[in-house]
């Protein structure tokens, strides 16, 4: 079985990695040169899980064929990957991730909605799943409504938790009875039993087995919340990934063959991206937020330190926020006005609604005009903002736990379970996905991320060059050295640093005085009023010493009105100073808002010169 | 190099169509291979397990869960009716007795000593599967469904609302770009499937529902009207279960857009035929498009043999599917290999298109779809 596969114990000269997405299969070839591992080429082909082909390996072979042609190197012998590398032919290892067929769709169940059920949700999300629903004993739905829901949703897998070890067993037994009564059939394949993972009170194991062992493929792991004060999510996460391979993937067309090809278990794509995010945070000892915005879903990952100073990884997926299939839902959830506020020109609202729907029904089209690009990037800002809001509400400390607090904590945290996301403490923000990775100017990606995430204090910004984090995530499991080298060299594009004081921005009032010593010897000394965006040149691998003196009422991380001196790193965009205030608000008056948006566009050199800016503004 | 082109929607005058008709759960197949079926014929039947109702007898009688068997009057498998006493306490000398009554008719499925719950399953819910199209049974899948084969005109829409409907086809619009006044729909259109031109406006749809029209086929619909019709904002394009009393098939997209000439002409030709439509749309991996199926009398002549081209060539007829030329038709005049910059500065693969008036424009290849050439 694939789970026991090990990578050959010898020097790895070449690596082939694929990511089978729901629409495209992407392949990359990595080779070891004198100075370490490098990305050589990338190829892609449509994914072939659906009819008429119904075999994922076809798309994989097509993508590898493209890599083979681009690299001018033989990798395939017919439909077989040549392994290990012999002379110039073949590769030493082959690995893959997958989100084809809609990814891993799960339901989770727990006794108390914001305690064990929430822990179970975090376990499932961290394993790379989409959580379709959370069933809890106290979720106010009647038992038959829960049964109906489980039956209708047809999840790929159920994670059942509940109760601390030694606690009562009756509530979790009741949940098991509900699952048994629903007798859900899996989404793929009518003939196999639905995997149910039990990760609750260990005293209830026998009771659970009695109720579920006959009807489901029941697996029992350690309790994911053994005591109130501690989560133990890893055993459940590993079991989810194992079951994903053994049951779900094995029933998806062609996966059995694909699993026999790979040198490491196939990982769900978001699980792999999460792994690489954790690696970045660990190696650099930093706090990180990462986002991957796709056509259908947006994943947000974060590593923040908890109250004890230990790094905590969280991942959420916003299943219906995305730039093509789900773009209409972005408009529905954000509201028309929130999208319109990012547009530096007037549009007819009815026309905008029709355009968004037309993108939804023809998801592969791309913006041809500048106006269409700006509208798409306005939608992206809202998709990212909403996905991050959802992330903040789930990336929280454990609820129901007594906390020792100091007076200052009491002001910051009004309840247990406050979000772990601390924007002032955030060191790096990493963006990935088409609308960010393929924005015509990197400046556009930088400002989309700043507008959507509203970073505070000093934050480094980066994007994934060609969306290869999934492959590097699975590579990190088998060869961390290669994964890190390729990540630094070829994957991560450093955009630069954003400096944003926190405070209410009253337009025109002083906000921040800065002194910057640029690497070319230029010295900048400037007082920037509130409500502005500035851009200073600071290139890739360059650093600059900055002295920051926030005005009264503004905080750079050292306290209100307190100065700070630090070193910042550059990137392809440079050093961005954002004095628009936090929380970030835009003017309500349309001509005023548009005038400011146009000024920021010009300062940041976001778009080419265009007569769009000359169009008259009418209030919307 | 592999490139995915938007394959375009099928608009075929005559084809042999194979349709898989499946039950939602195992059941009984009522037809055999070789049988001819009409759209309204029931071809398979199944019974959905009844809803489960739970009654916590433990708390209803204020007794510990493990004592349930001392008080329960029924056993697993017993039938019960609504209001029937399921369990009772003895009380003191016959007084202060508590009773737990069944909340529904059904069969006792389980009695739990752990939770004190009694589970009652209601009567099964029958599900009937109709043929929906006129055709012949060519395969039966035991307990699951059948495969029907039909010789028919087949047209895919881009987006739809509502499920399966059948009715006589009538083209009401004079031309594919006409915008119909709602008053044009009267009671003589009851039970028909109507072709209404460039726009299914809210007032037109309302009028059609009032007149008992089964379905509307239009070039476009405004999103604002769709929202008004549904009563909510459609976030994700998964439709087919709406219960509006009518099925809508949109052939081109959102906004006011003329029905493609070829589609319109074909519908006109097939006027008067019994027509099966389904608005169900899923724009996801494994895309489902709404469809129009119009049966033809059995004849193997003129069968459309995969006229769809798979790759773009010079001369290929195409339709533009994104602004600023959305909905316009033309043919390919150049396919440059090199990536070219757009106004957005994105460098993409492009093509040159010539319109009917002879003017030419350059467009991203991703923004066109192929038109069938048969």
CATH of residue A128's domain is 3.40.50.280
What is the average per-residue pLDDT within A87-110?
86
Say if B289 falls within a structural domain. Answer: yes
- pLDDT at residue A143, as a whole number: 78
Residues 278-337 of B with CB under 8 A from A: 281, 283-286, 321-324, 326
Domain assignment present for B302: no
Residues B289 and B159 in one domain: yes
How many structural domains is chain B composed of?
Answer: 3
Q: Among A100, A177, A329, select the one facing B117 at the smallest CB separation.
A: A177
Contact by Cβ (8 Å): A134, A109: yes
Instruction: Mutate one of A72, A358, A379 to test the B interface: name it (highest B CB count within 10 A).
Output: A358
CATH number at residue B58: 2.40.50
Tell whether B62 and B179 lie within a shared domain: no
One domain for residues A480 and A402:
yes
Q: Check A170 against B324: CB less than 8 A apart.
A: no
Highest mean pLDDT among A412-416, A500-504, B286-290: A500-504
CB–CB contact A366 B326 (8 Å) = no
- Judge if B268 and B347 occupy the same domain: no
What is the overall mean pLDDT for chain A? 87
Do both B164 and B103 map to the same domain?
Answer: no
Evaluate whether residue B21 is within a structural domain: no
User: Quick one: A340 and A476 in the same domain?
Assistant: yes
User: Which segments of A370-441 does DSSP mark as H helices, in order?
Assistant: 370-394, 407-412, 434-437
Residues B157 and B290 in one domain: yes
- What burial class does residue A552 get, using C-beta atoms within 10 Å of its C-beta: 0-12 exposed, 13-18 middle, 19+ buried? exposed
Using the structure block, give the residue that is written with the tokens 């659970």.
A208
A479 and A560 housed in the same domain: no
Q: Is residue A595 part of a domain?
A: no
Total number of residues shown for chain A: 620
Domain assignment present for B354: yes
- Identify whether B17 is part of a domain: no
Do B195 and B257 share a domain, yes or no?
yes
Q: Are A111 and A190 part of one and the same domain? A: yes
Q: In this structure, are B161 and B195 located in the same domain?
A: yes
Confidence of residue A399 (pLDDT cuts 50, 70, 90): low
d(CA A50, CA A236) in angstroms, rounded, equals 30
Q: What is the CATH number of the domain that holds A87?
A: 3.30.420.40
How many domains does one find in chain A? 4
B65 contacts in chain A (CB < 8 Å): 170
What's the average model confidence in pLDDT over A181-200?
Answer: 78
Please check whether residues A316 and A461 belong to one and the same domain. yes
In the A/B pair of chains, how many CB contacts fall below 8 A?
175
Task: Using a CB–CB cutoff of 8 Å, tell me whether A143 touches chain B.
Answer: yes
Q: Is A557 left (phi over 0), alpha (psi -120 to 50) or beta?
A: left
Find the CATH number of the domain harbouring A308: 3.30.420
Burial of A589 (0-12, 13-18, 19+ CB in 10 A): exposed
Query: Are A372 and A390 contained in the same domain?
Result: yes
Of the three residues A445, A479, A500, the one that is the final residue of a domain is: A500
Contacts of B366 in chain A (CB under 8 A): 364-366
Q: Which is more confidently placed, A115 or A47? A: A115
pLDDT for the residue A52 = 62
Q: The tokens 């002032």 sit on which residue? A: A424
> Is A592 a member of any domain?
no
Question: Does A596 map to a domain?
Answer: no
Q: Are residues A347 and A491 in the same domain?
A: yes
Closest to B100 (Cα-Cα) out of B58, B52, B60:
B60
In-domain check, residue A591: no
Q: Which residues pair with A350 in a beta bridge?
A: none
Please check whether residue B191 lies inside any domain of the structure: yes
The Cα A287–Cα A431 span in angstroms is: 15
- Taking only residues 370 to 409 of chain A, the set having a beta carbon closer than 8 angstroms to any beta carbon of chain B reads 370, 372-373
Domain that holds residue B59: 52-121
Q: What is the pLDDT of residue A102?
A: 63
Residue A575 pLDDT greater than 60, yes or no: yes
Closest CA to B270 of B292, B248, B298: B292
Q: Which residues lie below 8 Å from residue B205, measured CB to CB, with a gap of 6+?
A: B216, B225, B229, B244, B246, B248
Over residues A455-469, the mean pLDDT reads 92
The three-state DSSP-derived secondary structure of A85-99 is: CECCECCCEEEEEEC
The single residue listed with the structure tokens 């548009």 is A594
Asked whether residue A53 is assigned to any structural domain, the reply reads yes
**B285 and B186 in a common domain:** yes
DSSP assignment letter at B196: -
Neighbouring CB atoms inside 10 A of B74's CB total: 18
- Please tell me what DSSP assigns to residue B18: E
Distance CA A565, CA A100 (A): 48
Best probe of the B interface among A352, A365, A375, by most B CBs < 10 A, is A365
The answer as to whether B25 is a domain residue is no
Domain span including residue A41: 2-100
A370 and A507 assigned to the same domain: no
What pLDDT, on a 0 to 100 scale, did the predictor assign at position A581?
Answer: 94
**Per the domain annotation, does A351 fall within a domain?**
yes
Q: Which residue does chain A place closest to B365, by CA atoms?
A: A365
A551 C-beta neighbours (distance < 10 Å), count: 19
Q: How far apart are CA B346 and CA B341, in angstroms?
A: 5
Q: Is A614 a member of any domain?
A: no
> Is residue B131 one of the residues assigned to a domain?
no
C-alpha torsion sign, points A102, A107, A113, A115: negative
Residue linked to tokens 């699993």 = A259
pLDDT band at A412 (very low <50, low <70, confident <90, very high): very low
Pair B160, B219 in one domain: yes
Same domain (yes/no): A109, A206 = yes
| Separation CA B186–CA A454 (nearest Å) | 56
CA-CA distance, A306 to A313, in Å (whole number)?
Answer: 10
Q: Do B158 and B291 reside in the same domain of the chain? A: yes
Same domain flag for A112 and A164: yes
Please tell me whether residues B289 and B324 are part of one structural domain. Answer: no
For residue A411, what pLDDT band results from cuts at 50, 70 and 90? Answer: very low
Q: List the 207-236 stretch of A: residues with Cβ below 8 A of B.
A: 207
Residues in A closer than 8 angstroms to B228, CB to CB, are none
Confidence of residue A297 (pLDDT cuts 50, 70, 90): confident
Are the Cβ atoms of A353 and B109 closer than 8 angstroms? no
Q: Which of A44, A49, A27 has its CA nearest to residue A96?
A: A27
Predicted local confidence at residue B298, as pLDDT:
59
Interface predicted TM-score (ipTM) of this complex, two decimals: 0.84
Residues A431 and A325 in one domain: yes
Eight-state DSSP code of residue B72: B
pLDDT tens, residue order, chain B (374 aa) = 333 334 567 888 999 999 989 876 778 999 999 999 999 999 999 887 777 788 889 888 888 988 999 999 999 999 999 999 999 987 766 666 788 999 999 999 888 888 888 988 888 888 899 999 999 999 998 988 899 999 999 999 999 999 999 999 999 999 999 999 999 999 999 999 999 999 999 999 999 999 999 999 999 999 999 999 999 888 878 788 888 999 999 999 999 999 988 899 999 999 999 999 999 988 765 578 899 999 997 555 555 544 444 567 899 888 899 989 988 889 999 998 888 999 999 988 899 999 999 999 999 988 998 876 54
Chain A hits for B324, CB-CB cut-off 8 Å, are 368-369
**Mean pLDDT score, A294-318:** 87
Query: Within this chain, do residues A182 and A79 fall inside the same structural domain, yes or no?
Result: no
Among all residues of chain B, which has the CA nearest to that of A146? B52
* Predicted pLDDT of residue A561: 93
CB contact under 8 A, A366 and B364: yes
3-class secondary structure, A110: strand
| B246 secondary structure, DSSP code | S
Nearest-CA residue of chain A relative to B368? A365
What confidence score (pLDDT) does residue A603 get? Answer: 92
Which positions in chain A touch B109 (Cβ < 8 Å)? 181
Asked if residue A12 is part of any domain, the answer here is: yes
Question: A401 pLDDT band (50/70/90 cuts)?
Answer: low
**Torsion of the alpha carbons at B209, B215, B218 and B221, rounded to the nearest 10:** 50
Residue B65 has a pLDDT of 87
Q: What is the pLDDT of residue B121?
A: 86
CB spacing of B237 vs A328 below 8 angstroms: yes
Q: What angle do CA B205, B209, B213 make, to 5 degrees?
A: 100
Domain boundary among A234, A265, A296: A265
Same domain, B64 and B173: no
């Amino acid at each position: 079985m694939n789970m026991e596969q090990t990578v050959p114990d010898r020097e790895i000269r070449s690596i082939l990695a694929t990511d089978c997405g729901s629409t495209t299969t992407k392949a990359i070839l990595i080779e070891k040169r004198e100075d370490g591992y490098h990305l050589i080429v990338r190829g892609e082909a449509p994914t072939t899980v659906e009819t008429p082909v119904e075999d994922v390996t076809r798309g994989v072979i097509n993508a590898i064929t493209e890599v083979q042609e681009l690299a001018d190197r033989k990798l395939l012998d017919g439909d077989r990957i040549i392994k290990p590398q012999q002379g110039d032919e073949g590769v030493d290892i082959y690995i893959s991730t997958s989100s084809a067929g809609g990814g891993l769709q799960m339901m989770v169940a727990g006794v108390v909605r914001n305690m064990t059920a929430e822990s179970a949700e975090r376990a499932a999300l961290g394993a790379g799943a989409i959580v379709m629903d959370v069933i809890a004993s106290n979720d106010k739905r009647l038992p038959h409504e829960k049964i109906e829901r489980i039956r209708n949703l047809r999840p790929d897998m159920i994670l059942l938790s509940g109760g601390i070890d030694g606690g009562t067993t009756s509530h979790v037994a009741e949940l098991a009875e509900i699952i048994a009564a629903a007798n859900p059939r899996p989404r793929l394949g009518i003939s196999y039993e639905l995997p149910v993972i039990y990760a609750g009170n260990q005293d209830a194991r026998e009771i659970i087995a009695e109720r579920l062992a006959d009807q489901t493929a029941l697996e029992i792991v350690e309790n994911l919340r053994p005591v109130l004060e501690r989560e133990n999510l890893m055993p459940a996460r590993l079991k989810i990934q194992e079951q994903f391979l053994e049951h779900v993937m094995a029933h998806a067309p062609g996966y059995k063959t694909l699993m026999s090809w790979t040198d490491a278990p196939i990982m769900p794509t978001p699980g792999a991206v999460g792994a690489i995010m954790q690696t970045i945070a660990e190696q650099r000892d930093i706090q990180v937020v990462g986002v991957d915005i796709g056509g259908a879903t947006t994943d947000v990952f974060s590593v923040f330190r908890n109250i004890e100073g230990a790094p905590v990884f969280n991942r959420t997926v916003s299943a219906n926020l995305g730039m093509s299939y789900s773009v209409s839902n972005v408009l529905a959830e954000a509201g028309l006005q929130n999208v319109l506020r990012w547009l530096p020109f007037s549009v007819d609202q009815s026309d905008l609604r029709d355009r968004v729907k037309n993108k939804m029904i023809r998801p592969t089209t791309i913006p041809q005009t500048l106006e269409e690009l700006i509208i798409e990037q306005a939608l992206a800002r809202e998709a990212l903002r909403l996905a991050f809001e959802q992330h903040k509400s789930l990336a929280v400390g454990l609820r129901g736990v007594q906390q020792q607090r100091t007076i200052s904590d009491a002001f910051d945290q009004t309840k247990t379970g406050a979000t772990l996301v601390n924007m002032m403490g955030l060191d790096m923000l990493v963006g990935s996905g088409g609308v960010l990775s393929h924005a015509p100017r990197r400046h556009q990606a930088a400002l989309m991320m700043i507008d959507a995430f509203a970073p505070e204090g000093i934050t480094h910004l980066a994007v994934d060059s060609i969306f290869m984090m999934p492959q590097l995530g699975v590579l990190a499991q088998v060869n961390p050295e290669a994964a890190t080298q390729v990540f630094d060299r070829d994957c991560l594009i450093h955009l630069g640093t954003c400096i944003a004081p926190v405070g209410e921005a009253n337009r025109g009032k002083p906000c921040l005085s800065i002194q910057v010593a640029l690497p070319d010897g230029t010295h900048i000394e400037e007082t920037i009023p509130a409500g502005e965006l500035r851009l200073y040149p600071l290139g890739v691998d360059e650093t600059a010493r900055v002295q920051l003196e926030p005005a009264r009422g503004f905080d750079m991380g050292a306290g209100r009105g307190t100065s700070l001196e630090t070193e910042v790193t550059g990137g392809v965009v440079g050093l961005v100073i954002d004095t628009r205030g936090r929380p970030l608000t835009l003017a309500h008056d349309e001509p005023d808002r548009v005038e400011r948006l146009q000024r920021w566009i010009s300062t940041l050199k976001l778009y080419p010169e265009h007569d769009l800016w000359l169009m008259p503004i009418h209030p919307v | 190099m592999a490139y995915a082109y938007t394959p375009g929607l099928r608009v075929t005058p005559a084809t042999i169509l194979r349709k898989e008709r499946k039950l939602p759960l195992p059941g009984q197949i009522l037809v055999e291979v070789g049988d001819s079926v009409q759209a309204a014929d029931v071809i398979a039947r199944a019974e959905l397990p009844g809803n489960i109702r739970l009654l916590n007898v433990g708390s209803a009688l204020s007794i510990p869960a493990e004592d349930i068997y001392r008080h329960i009057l029924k056993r697993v498998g017993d039938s019960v009716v609504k209001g029937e006493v399921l369990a009772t306490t003895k009380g003191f000398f016959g007084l202060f007795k508590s009773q737990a009554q069944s909340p529904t008719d059904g069969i006792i499925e389980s009695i739990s000593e752990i939770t004190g719950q009694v589970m009652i399953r209601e009567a099964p819910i029958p599900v009937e599967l109709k043929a929906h199209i006129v055709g012949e049974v060519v395969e039966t899948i035991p307990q699951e469904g059948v495969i029907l084969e039909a010789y028919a005109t087949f047209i895919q829409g881009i987006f739809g609302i509502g499920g399966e409907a059948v009715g006589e086809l009538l083209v009401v619009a004079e031309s594919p770009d006409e915008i119909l006044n709602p008053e044009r729909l009267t009671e003589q259109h009851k039970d028909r499937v109507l072709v209404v031109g460039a726009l299914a406006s809210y007032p037109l749809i309302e009028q059609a529902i009032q007149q008992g029209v089964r379905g509307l086929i239009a070039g476009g619909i405004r999103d604002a009207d769709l929202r008004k019709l549904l009563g909510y904002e459609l976030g994700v394009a998964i439709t087919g279960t709406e219960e509006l009393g009518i099925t809508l098939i949109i052939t081109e997209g959102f906004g006011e857009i003329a029905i493609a000439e070829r589609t319109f002409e074909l519908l006109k030709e097939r006027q008067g035929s019994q027509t099966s439509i389904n608005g169900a749309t899923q724009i996801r991996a494994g895309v489902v498009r709404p469809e129009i199926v119009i049966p033809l009398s059995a004849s193997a002549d003129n069968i459309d043999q995969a006229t769809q081209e798979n790759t773009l060539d010079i001369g290929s007829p195409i339709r533009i599917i994104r602004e600023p030329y959305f909905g316009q038709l033309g043919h390919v005049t150049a396919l440059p290999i090199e990536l070219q910059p757009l106004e957005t500065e994105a460098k993409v693969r492009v093509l040159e298109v010539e319109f009917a008036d002879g003017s030419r424009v350059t467009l991203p290849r991703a923004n066109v779809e192929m038109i069938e050439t048969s």
